[in-house]
């Protein structure tokens, strides 16, 4: 997962891995 997120981060160049993780958790972890 981290490799794919890092790869996506390199593509966008603006989104860091932490930002992607936070975005994913904010969407899928409704309870938080």
pLDDT value at residue 13: 60
Is the pLDDT assigned to residue 32 strictly greater than 50? no
Is the pLDDT assigned to residue 29 strictly greater than 50? yes
What pTM was estimated for this model as a whole? 0.34
Angstrom distance (rounded) from CA 26 to CA 6 = 18
Query: In which band, very low, low, confident or very high, does the pLDDT at 15 lie, cut at 50, 70 and 90?
Result: low
Query: In which band, very low, low, confident or very high, does the pLDDT at 17 lie, cut at 50, 70 and 90?
Result: low
Nearest CA-CA partner of 17 in 5, 31, 29 = 5
Task: Identify the residue whose tokens are 């958790």.
Answer: 25
Is the pLDDT assigned to residue 24 strictly greater than 70? yes
The domains of the chain are located at 1-32
pLDDT value at residue 26: 76
Helix (H) / strand (E) containing 16: none
């Amino acid at each position: 997962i981290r490799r794919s997120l890092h790869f996506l981060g390199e593509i966008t160049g603006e989104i860091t891995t932490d930002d992607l993780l936070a975005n994913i958790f904010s969407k899928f972890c409704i309870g938080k």
